[in-house]
Each structure stands twice: as structure tokens, then as C-alpha cells.
Amino acid sequence: MEAIGTGMIALAAGLAVGITGLASALAEKEIGSAAIGAMTEDESLFGKGMILTVLPETIVIFGLVVAILMIFVM
Amino acid sequence: MLLPESMSRIVIVGARSRMEEAIEALYRLERAHLIDYSSDDEGFSIGAPLPNGSKASERLLKIRAMLNELSIPLRRVSADTPVPSREVRRLIDGGGVEQLDEELFAVLDERNRAIQAIADLEGTISELRPMATLPLTLDLYRGYDSLRPFVGVARQSPVDALSSLEEKELFLADDGHFLALFVRKEDEEEAQKLLSKVGFTEVKIPEGEGSPGDIIDSMEKELLTKQEELETLEKELDNLKEKHTFFIASTEEELAIEVAKAETPLRVATSEYSFVMDAWVPTADLQMSVGMLEQALQGRVSIDVAETRGRLEADEEKADPRFKIPPTKGKNNKLGEKFEYLVSLMSVPRYQETDPAFLMSLFLPMFFGIMLGDIGYALLFMWLGFYGMKNWRSDESRAVASLMFFGGIWGAIFGFFMYGEFLGMHIYADPAVHAPLVDGMAAHWGELLGLNTAFMDGLSLGVSKMHDVTFLLKLGVYIGIAHLFIGLVFGTINVKMQKGTKAAVQEKFSWVLSLLGLTGVSWGLTSVMFYNTPIEGMFLNILAVSAVLLIVGMGLNWPIAGINALLDVPGIVGNILSYTRLAAIAMSKAGMALAFNYMSITMLIVGVGGIGGILGGVFVYLIGHALVWVLALISCGLHGLRLQYVEFMSKFFLGGGDPYQPLQAKRRFTKAIETEV
């Protein structure tokens, strides 16, 4: 039973990182292409574009933290 | 050091005839940021360009045409021995530009004619070549009354297709495709139809008489002479280019400066008899600047100091629209200057706020170093960064080079003292932590190379990126709290400077309290949840104080932010957790490096795969680490930058300033020599 439990934790950790990664990617895809579009019009928008593009990355960081907590704390 | 340079506004008023002198003096001062005249006050309008401007722009146009024709890249021209601008001036006034223009374009015209002639000859020769295989002279192809000649190329053999034509004369070349067909005028349509079936295309019959073969021979001779001629001309051009490159470069510079000066009146208010110039000058140089201008203009114009702008936003609002925004001149030390470009990518700092460049110059390389944490990669970054800072020219690549160099230094510091790691492997290892790699061998340099690594014991913490994950995560969170705290403190300072103490407490200091309170509460909650710490004694006190701080912070923020005072709290938690990427990226780098090390060491040292294994091992080792190194630059650099832009700078930085661009002549090939004052 112990082994199955460990396996479940590993699986859950993988899902936590994987699904949040997909979510970040989907969000960044749209923002990133819009940001590049805006930057071709006006290069000074780089800063704002970069900030908006990387905002959804927080989702995957949360996923990662949850995964690491699962592996090391549970 | 952290605030942009303080600015003062000066007003220069004088008779219109003195305007040129005044512009010259401002250019020599190199400190005045001219304010464009844009309003339309009674009796004032923008000035007219100086009279010498049109001649200078005409000459500049000629020089730029030469730059283009000779394809001289100005950036590559050596600027080791600048000449006095007076020398260049003398050459220009002596008609040097026109003279060179004539000389150069005479040769260029001749060269272009030669190129054209060669192209024409080659065209005719290729037209004639197939005809040379037919036994006809050129005059036999034309001049008939009752015959229609067809000359051209057929895709298939035309002999069978044309057999239905009774009266004809067909000459077919040896290749079976080129043909000359002569038919009666009456049969023209019929012949055309038949020929179109075999895919016939007619060719132009070149002018001239005699046998095509002879013509080709004479033309080839002519072609040869033309080619030789072209070669001499090209050589002559190269000589001219070599001889005059510096003249062209220095003249371009001198003329560009002259044109810029001549166009300056377009930014100045003039009336019928007078002019008024407004300019920002750094307050630190104010006395010197006014003194120098007065001396240069010898009291013939009046120079007044209109104001020294404070940092209050109210001052800005009171000002006339033209004088609202003073330009931002960074006041950073050498280190901070290197990071000004990265700040400007986001936005130029406002006059009334802290310039983040210096803070960024500390934190960005530090974060880069924590994520990199490897002496081997760091040394490579330091070397490339040092090279780039010396040799690269563009703003972007210089920014990358500075990040690599200083990030590399921090990477080496963390790599040695914290991780004790070289190219993905520990220098020495704690046997309790590090499982044997293969065949009882531990993956650390000490054992692999048989080194005595005892000296590292006291020096390096020997943190393993792969095993001490919890420690690294916690470290990331603590760094995040400290970093955000510093950001909010600077936010408080900024708002206090811009709007006063009350606004500073409500807008930013409230968040300092909230951050501290939130940190304490979160720490308490995790202790209770994960470690079942009993809520009593000192622990209870800390928890209570934290809760009070959090509530007071939110309460202070409430009057201006409303419900957002509450809603933004989870955002701060998100900001803090975002710093766990420091650990995550360090871990991913280490993971990749470990995989490559494992593969290559198995082949190289354990000897799996024999000779092929050794070659494969070296290959995997080199390619693998090169890959990790490049990825390290991208991920450590970008994520480090993101933490600055998104988490840190958003706490105190607004941006939207006007960059300081003083009137000055940027000289590389020429040097200004002070005329006697």
C-alpha cells in the first residue's frame, strides 16, 4: 500500500505541474502574440508587453510549489 | 545617486542677430536640453533655419550618396586619429566635397557604363551562339519580299511536323532544336501553326552582317577589353575609397553637426527682432553653465534662471504645458549606468522617482547568480561578458554583456560558497546526501579526479540543487520577501517625495505593514498546518502582532484603494511565491547537467562502449554542457529580469519620463578645438 501511495503522490505532483504548465502556455500564447503585434507598431511597448506576457507564469509556479510540497512534505 | 539629476530651467533672450552665436554657445556647453517652442504667443513664431543650412544639407546629401555608392560602414571606420574640426571645415569650404563628388562620380559613371556594355555584349553573344551553328550569314536572315523567315528554338524535332509544307527551306542545328525556316509569304500562317505544335519560340535576329561565328569572335575580344577596363575602374574605385574614407567620414560628421545646428532655430521662439530659448540644465552645473554662456556671449544676450524644479507632483501640475516634464538624466555610478538600458526597455524613469538602474545592477546579477550557481558556467559567462563589454557596440548587446559579466561573478560566488559546484557536479560531496553514481563512484570532482577537497569543508555549504529543494524554495521565498520589502520602501520614499507623507503612508507604507503582517501570518499558518506547532507563548505573540500589522496595513490603504486593499493581498502572496522560480530554475539547470554528466561519465570513466564510448562521451559532454549554458543565459536572464520588472519595479516605479538629450555635437572622427574666447 505504501508503494501505491508514493506512486499516487508522484502522479499528482506530475499532474499539478503539467496541467498548470498547459494553462500558462495557453494564456501566454494569446498575450505573447498580441504583445509582439503591439511591439511591431511601437517598440517602446516592450516593457509592458513583457510584463503582460509573463503574468500567467505565476500559475505554473503555483503548480510547481504544490508539486514540491507534495513530494517533500507529504 | 538613486534620484535622477535635479534640473533647472534657464531662459535666454537676445536680439535675433545673436541667435547663431547663442546656439553655438549652447552646443559648446553640451548640457542644455532645449525645450521645443510649440505655443503660438502673440508676435512670436518658430525661427527660420540658419542660412548656411541649405548648402550644408546639399553637401551632406552628396557625402551620404558617396557613403552608399562606396558602401562604407561608418561604424567600422577607425576613429583613432580624429582631426581638428577646423581642418575639415577648411576642406569643405574649399569645395572639397564637390571636387571629390566630381572625381568619384566620373569613375562611377564610367564603371556603370562598362558594366552596361559588358551586359549588352554578353546578351548579344548568347543570342548569336546558336546561329553560328547554321551555315548562314546574318544578312541572309532578312530583307525578303516574298519569303518569311522563322528563326528560333523548337522543343521537339520539327522535321516530321513540317513535312506537310511543300515549299520550304529548313536549316536545323546539330542539337536538333535551333532552326531557321524559310517559307513563302502565303504559307506563313500554316507554318506558324505547324511550328507551334513542336513548341517553337522565335528569337530576335541580331543586327549586323557577316558570319555569326566571326561576329562572336570579335565581340568576345571586345568583351575581354571591357572586362579589363572594368577591373581597372574597380581598382581605381578601391583606391579612391581607401584614400578618401576618412575624409568622407569626417566630413559627414562635420556637416551633420552643421545641419543640426542650422535647424535648431526651428525649435526656438522668435519675434521680428528677438529670440527666446528655454532649456533645462542640470542644477549641479547651473552656475558653471550660466557663467560659461555669459562669458561666451559677453553680455549681448540675457540669461535668466527661471526655476529649479522640485520633486513634488504639484509643481509639475502648476507649470506651463511646455515646462511640465523636466528631462530625466540618470545619476548612476559606473555599475548602475550599465543597467540603464534595461530600465529604459521598460520605460524611462520619471523626474520625480527613484531610478531603478542601481537597484537593478545589484539584484539582477545576484538573482542570475543564484539561479546559475555553478563555477564552470559562471567563468564562461564572465569571460564572454568581459569580451562583450569591451568590444560590442549596440545597446542591446552591451546590456547582455554586462548581465553576463556581473551575473557570472555572482554565479561564481554562489557556485563556490553555496553550492560548491563545477559544471553540474559538486567539487566535494557529503556522502550522506549524494548517492553513488555508478559502480560505487560518487559524482563529484574530488573522487573522479582524485583531488584532496578537504579545504572546501569549511568554505562551501555544499547545497545540492537536486536534494536540498526545500531549503532552496524557502530561500527563494525569503529573498522574495526582502526584495518586495525594499521595493515597497522605495515606493514609500517616492510617494512621500511626490505627494507628501500622508499619501505615502496610505499608498505604500500601508503595504510595507501588510507585507510584514502577511509574512508573519503565513509563517504561523504553515507552522500550524505542517508541523502542528501549538499556538501559545512567543509563537502566539508573533502571530497576533502579524495579524494586527496586516489589518492596520489594510486599514491605512482602505481610504484610497477601497475594496482593493483586501483584494490585492493574495497578489502579494503570489508575488512572494513567484520568487520560488529561483529554486525551480536552479533545479532544472542542475537536472539537465546531471543527466549529461551521468551519460558521459558512464562512457568515459566507467568505460561503457570502448573507444566509441569515449568519443561519444566527449561529444555528449561538450554538446550537453553547451546546451545547458545557453539555456542558462536565456532562463536565468529572462526570469531574473522578470522578477525585477514585474514583482520589484511595480512596487515603486511608474516610468514615462522624457530622456535628457542636451544639444551637443557627437564627434568621433573630428575634434572641436576651442576658438579663442
pLDDT digits (tens, 9 = 90+) for B305-364: 999 998 988 888 888 888 889 999 988 999 999 999 999 888 899 999 999 999 999 999
pLDDT in tens, B522-567: 999 888 887 888 888 888 999 999 999 999 999 999 999 889 888 8
Which among B124, B34, B89 has a CA at the least distance from the CA of B667?
A: B89
Q: Which helix (H) or strand (E) holds B170?
A: strand B168-172
pLDDT in tens, B412-425: 999 999 988 888 88
Count of CB pairs separated by less than 8 Å, A with B: 47
Smallest Cα distance from B201 to chain A, Å: 48
Q: Is A64 on the interface with B (CB under 8 A)?
A: yes
Give the span between the Cα atoms of B628 and B177, in whole angstroms.
62
Supply the pLDDT for residue B677: 35
Give the span between the Cα atoms of B200 and B391, in whole angstroms.
62
Q: Which residues of A touch B473 (CB under 8 A)?
A: 65, 68
Q: Do B470 and A57 touch (CB under 8 A)?
A: no
Which phi and psi (to 5°) does residue B18 adopt?
-95, 0
Q: Is B655 on the interface with A (CB under 8 A)?
A: yes
Higher-pLDDT residue of B54 and B369 is B369
Please tell me the class of the B133-210 domain: alpha beta
Distance in angstroms between the alpha carbons of the first and the last residue of chain B: 35
Residues 6 or more apart whose Cβ sits within 8 Å of residue B583 = B469, B472, B473, B475, B476
A 10 A CB-CB count for B432 gives: 6
Q: Where are the beta strands (DSSP E) in B325-396?
A: 327-328
Per-residue exposure over B322-332, b if at least 16 CB sit within 10 Å of its own CB, e if not: ebebbbbbbbb
Let me know: does B583 contact B469? Beta carbons within 8 Å. Answer: yes
Q: Is B319 helix (H, G, I), strand (E, B) or coil?
A: coil
Q: Is A65 on the interface with B (CB under 8 A)?
A: yes
| Confidence at B114, pLDDT banded by 50, 70, 90 | very high
CATH number for the domain that contains residue A45: 1.20.20
Is 0.85 exceeded by the ipTM? no
Q: What's the total number of domains in chain A?
A: 1
pLDDT in tens, B41-55: 778 888 888 888 888
Look up the pTM and report it.
Answer: 0.78
Distance in angstroms between the alpha carbons of the first and the last residue of chain A: 15
Q: Do B645 and A47 touch (CB under 8 A)?
A: yes
What is the domain extent for residue A23? 2-73
pLDDT in tens, B593-633: 888 888 888 788 766 777 888 888 899 999 999 999 998 98
CA–chain centroid gap for A64, Å, is 8
Closest residue in A to B471 (Cα–Cα): A72
Q: Which amino acid is at B575?
A: N
Which phi and psi (to 5°) does residue B476 adopt?
-60, -45
Q: Is A72 on the interface with B (CB under 8 A)?
A: yes
Radius of gyration (Cα) for chain B, nearest Å? 39
Mean of pLDDT values over A8-12: 92
Mean of pLDDT values over B419-432: 76
Mean of the per-residue pLDDT values of chain B = 87
Per-residue exposure over B63-93, b if at least 16 CB sit within 10 Å of its own CB, e if not: beebbeebebeeeebeeeebeebeebeebbe
Give the span between the Cα atoms of B321 and B324, in whole angstroms.
5
Which among B304, B215, B269, B425 has a CA at the least distance from the CA of B12?
A: B304
Let me know: does B673 contact B28? Beta carbons within 8 Å. Answer: no
- How do B147-154 and B421-422 pair as beta strands? unpaired
Residue of B343, B344, B346 for testing the chain A interface, max A β-carbons within 10 Å: B346
- For chain B, domain boundaries: 133-210
pLDDT in tens, A44-57: 787 778 778 887 88
